[in-house]
Amino acid sequence: MMIYFAILLIVIPVLIGLLIMIFEGIDVERVSMVYLPLTLLVAIYAGMGLWKGYKMEVPTYRLVEVLKCTQCGFEDITDPTPGDYINMEKGKCPRCGGSMKVSLIYKERVKS
């Protein structure tokens, strides 16, 4: 995003300079036929890039906890509570009634 901003900063003065040159009539044809469209293109590209960067969402993450039954292997995904750790016993298995253990705690990217 900073790159696009830098490009815009460079391109805008160049564009203004070119416009002044055209108004003053210095080599009008060459400047307007080649450099002006080119600079405009770069400016549009940079502007679009900036807009994209501006609209880009900051990714958010949530913590996910995987509980696994020690007897039948049943897995359940829940939100972790503070103080949870791997291999901690947590609740009963809904399938067989055995004890559930925390097997994984990881970060998951959330799409909004």
What does the binding site for Zn ion look like in residue numbers (CB under 5 A)?
69, 71-72, 74, 93, 95-96, 98
Q: Decide whether 32 or 78 has the Cβ nearer to Zn ion.
A: 78
Q: How far is the CB of 66 from Zn ion (least distance, A)?
A: 14
CA distance 59 to 54: 13
Reading the block at residue 94, the tokens are: 């809904």
Q: Decide whether 71 or 87 has the Cβ nearer to Zn ion.
A: 71
Q: Decide whether 36 or 101 has the Cβ nearer to Zn ion.
A: 101
CA distance 25 to 45: 28
Q: How far is the CB of 112 from Zn ion (least distance, A)?
A: 35
Q: How far is the CB of 110 from Zn ion (least distance, A)?
A: 29
Could you list the beta-strand ranges (E) of the chain: 60-69, 75-78, 89-92, 99-110
Three-state DSSP class for residue 71: coil
